[in-house]
Structure 1
Amino acid sequence: MKLYVIVPLCALFTLTQQAPSPDKCVCELTNSEKAFPHDKLSTVENDASKCNSNITPQKTLELESLLLGLERRLPQLQEDVSMLEREDDGQLYGVLSLYVVENELVEIKQLLDRLNGTTLGHQHVTADTIKQLKDLKEEMQQLETYDTLQVVKRQQDNSRLKRDLDQCKNGHHPTTQPTQPPHGNCPHGEFLNITGPRVYTQGEYPGSYKYGAWGRDPKPEAGKENWYWLVMLTSSNRYANYVRRYSSLSSLIVGVSTPGNVQIHSSNPTTNTVQGPNVVLYGEALYYNCYNQDSVCRFNLTTKAVTTLQLPKDTRYNSKGNFCHLDECYPYTDLDLATDESGVWVIYTSKQDFGNLVLSKVEEGEPLTLGQTWRTSVYKQGVTNTFMACGVLYATRYVNKEVEEIFYSFDTTTGVERFDIGVFINKMSPNIYFLNYSPVDQMLHAYCDSYMVSYEVLFSEMDNADNIFHQSLY
């Protein structure tokens, strides 16, 4: 009985709610304007963002660097061919020149291949970008028809007016635009890019020693200005007990060692022998990580004396603070020795720095001492290698088997850190175990899976052509 009472009451309530009230006025609003296409605007914004990402200053700089490298290699090839023509091919000296010419031709071919590939890629990018810009212009013109209040037009007029006022103001009071301060005290200008490789050789022992180091002495003795040195880790890919000397780049390439080895110790490994690949030669002395110590050793190649420099407490060594990438770490790379225009540096890490890179200046003299120290915010095991140039620390990271990136810098003059360097190194082998800058010729020397490779460092300003490795190879 109660059920029949409830149902009519509910129906009555519903009908009452739906009935229009005589006290309310309902107006119908009709919008004559078209609905704004927000989805189309979003598409235009995405297309503009993709267009910006396709055209970057790095791509232009890469092409300019390749052209510059080719421009400077062709005269060198002509000079080497002329020297070969003047020599007697029946003698060893003529054979060496022939090897040099052959190496030059290989490098020029590699450079031309890269240049052709880069140019073709830029042509495709240019064609695509022109089409995208044309489409974007048409779509923006269509979107502007929705601006009935002419807000966009007023903004454009204001921008033009502001630009004209700025030009007028600058015309009466010319000011010099601020520029980025140069890194360190560098006579060559600001670091820009890496080109090459300039040298690519396995030298005297093809494929025999995976880890090692090589280069030139930035402070050579008289008569040894064109000499090269090589240290190969001959024991367990970890240790070495001698330095091999070459009187020229040609002799290094073809494997004719003169004067030969300078021995640190007859045993390997033992006290004061080399541990790890990150060694440098400076002032006729080899600087390296002492065997089984958190110390820097300096071996004088003339007197055969070894001087030891103890690093700060809790410095990581014995493969506990290596350079790494996602797939692997490079063993016994705890200490990285580096050279630049000012001398020798050591890059390491410690427990108190939570694994971040620490940079210290190694002061010459007796006894060997540690100079000023700088602490960075970049994690050492996220880095594959470091080098110094003009007082600036640069760090690299692994991109893939073909490319390494110089991504970080720390300026010891200003204390400024940057994580956006974005300079890429085209590798000839997947891993770079040793990397060091030579201030003698502004070259970057790398040791990669038994290959010796060098790259040219490009700076923003060059005093003259003498700064571009146009010295004689002999």
Structure 2
Amino acid sequence: MNLYVLTLSVLFTLSQQVPSSEKCTCELSHSQKVFPHDKLQTAEGNATDCNSRITPQKTLELESLLLGLERRLDQLHTDMSILEAEDDGQLYGVLSLYIIENEMTEIKLLLDKLNRTTLGHQDLTANTLLQLEDLKKDMDELQTFDSMQVVKGRQDNKHLKADLKDCRTAINSTVAPTHPTQGTCPHGHLLNITGPRVYTAGEYPGSYPFGAWGRDPEPEAGKESWYWLVMLTSSNIYAHYVRLYSSLSALIIGVSTPGNVQIHSSNPTTNTIQGPNVVLYGGALYYNCYNKDAVCRFNLTSKTVTTSQLPAGTRYNSKGNFCRLDECYSYTDLDLATDESGVWVIYTTTQDYGNLVLSKVEEGQQPTLGQTWHTSVFKQSVTNTFMACGILYATRYVSKSTEEIFYSFDTSTGKENFNLGILINKMSSNIQSLNYSPVDQMLYTYCDSKMVSYKVLFG
């Protein structure tokens, strides 16, 4: 490069020294072709277009639909078995047929959506394949302008770095644990929420806007098909009994057997229920004790109550509620939850500055708090929480018809995710309680006096 500049300088100097009639000139010519910047911009635009149209979410959508169809067919088989067992030729048979009819309608809608999605993916694949072939030709042509092989050098460096990373990974690898960690899910990752599957006003339409319902993940023998219901019957804050139903059909039509199991004759009083976030597990009801920062456990068989004190500074008596933009849900300081491993309690403390705290409730003659985790999500930005496979999920209000599962905390790794983006199709504006049942992988919600359930898709 310096020699080239020097030559030009000498030629220019000589041309100034000789007479004008004897001036010499030199012509510079560039042997390389002009780089086609417009073609590069076109290739970049086509690549960006491909990235925007081919996303992991499209594959996830198809997987979710296939998983949903698989789960629906299994549920249809279960419903048919229930019909055969319960059919008395009268009310129960008609109700079971109605449930099966709804299931068949949902399967048809799911198949229609699956067909539309599959055809759309086929068209997208064909168009994208042609576009990629054209893009490859353009890139091969553009690479011929790389006379100094800069691109090739970068590609070689990239391969070398990848090989080096694999080598380091192999050296530092550790043996996998013999037993799965607490956050490991036998079903896979939570992919989507479908439904609603059940939507009913139950036995008392519109009477009790706050409450909870569901199934016992560890039922006593002979009670595997039972459902439970707790309604806040005093000031939308307190309750003193749990109501039992022998089947889903019985709950829908409002035939309660054996009826109410009473904690205390007075309401409210010591050790009765405060707030809607209650769960039933192993034949015992877990809930926020009346006027206490403690978890109560009411054994439905022995009719006894035992308590577990929460840490000092725990907010209670409607001082640490779930909230939406314009209001909070009263007396939701403590949220009890169940999953494959047992019972959990979600709360907040003054020393955690209002962020969610999660503790495992250990079984025993008296419940105790086990391991505790501290998160970085502010409780008043959350409308509800639930547990599944050792992972805490939090929801937030989007609109009157939509709730979003936006956050997760994995207890096995301590990792948080604030961008899940899983939507729930609501049947009412508010979800007063939300709990996951590992028995059937369903979400049971209580929404403005209505009982609604959703299917959780894993994979």
* TM-score tier after normalising by the smaller chain length: 0.7 to 0.9
> 1:191 aligned to 2:189?
yes
- Cα deviation for residue 353 of structure 1 reads 0.4
CA deviations on 1:369-425 (whole Å, 9 max, x unpaired) are 222222122222222322222333232334445544434333333434344555444
Query: In the superposition, relative to structure 1, how do residues 55 and 234 fare at CA in structure 2: closer, same or farther (>3 Å)?
Result: farther
Show the counterpart of 2:278: 279
Query: In the superposition, relative to structure 1, how do residues 114 and 336 fare at CA in structure 2: closer, same or farther (>3 Å)?
Result: farther
Structure 1 SS opposite 2:287: strand
CA deviations on 1:150-207 (whole Å, 9 max, x unpaired) are 43345557778999x89xx99xx9x999999965264615333234326322133344
> 1:259 aligned to 2:258?
yes
Distance 2:97 2:307 in 1: 43
Q: Aligned AA for 1:224?
A: K
Paired residue for 2:198, among 200, 215, 219?
A: 200
Show the counterpart of 1:341: 340
- 8 Å CA contact 1:240–1:269 kept in 2: the answer is yes
Structure 2 SS opposite 1:95: helix
- 8 Å CA contact 2:344–2:358 kept in 1: the answer is yes
Query: In the superposition, relative to structure 1, how do residues 377 and 162 fare at CA in structure 2: closer, same or farther (>3 Å)?
Result: closer
Show the counterpart of 1:406: 405
Show the counterpart of 2:288: 289
- 8 Å CA contact 1:183–1:411 kept in 2: the answer is no
When the two structures are superposed, what TM-score results if normalisation uses the length of structure 1? 0.76
Distance 1:34 1:395 in 2: 59
- Cα deviation for residue 227 of structure 1 reads 0.7
> Over the residues paired in the alignment, what is the CA RMSD in angstroms?
4.1
Structure 2 SS opposite 1:452: strand
Distance 2:353 2:360 in 1: 20
Query: In the superposition, relative to structure 1, how do residues 365 and 51 fare at CA in structure 2: closer, same or farther (>3 Å)?
Result: same
Distance 2:82 2:369 in 1: 46
Show the counterpart of 1:355: 354
Show the counterpart of 1:19: none
- 8 Å CA contact 2:226–2:245 kept in 1: the answer is yes
Distance 1:389 1:81 in 2: 28
Distance 1:307 1:34 in 2: 85
CA deviations on 1:436-465 (whole Å, 9 max, x unpaired) are 2222233332223333333334444xxxxx
Distance 2:188 2:371 in 1: 23
Structure 2 SS opposite 1:406: strand
Q: How does 1:66-215 map to 2 (within 5 A)?
A: 66-74=65-73, 76-77=75-76, 80-81=79-80, 84=83, 90-112=89-111, 114-116=113-115, 118-119=117-118, 122=121, 126=125, 129-130=128-129, 133=132, 136-137=135-136, 140-141=139-140, 143-153=142-152, 155=154, 184=182, 186=184, 188-197=186-195, 199-202=197-200, 203-215=202-214
Moved more, 419-428 or 437-446: 419-428
Distance 2:386 2:63 in 1: 24
Q: Which runs of 5+ in 2 are unaligned?
A: 1-15, 18-23
- 8 Å CA contact 1:96–1:251 kept in 2: the answer is no
Q: Aligned AA for 2:186?
A: H
- Cα deviation for residue 29 of structure 1 reads 7.1
- Cα deviation for residue 68 of structure 1 reads 2.5
Show the counterpart of 2:9: none
- Residue identity over aligned pairs, in percent, reads 71
Show the counterpart of 1:438: 437
Moved more, 178-187 or 44-53: 178-187
Structure 1 SS opposite 2:229: strand
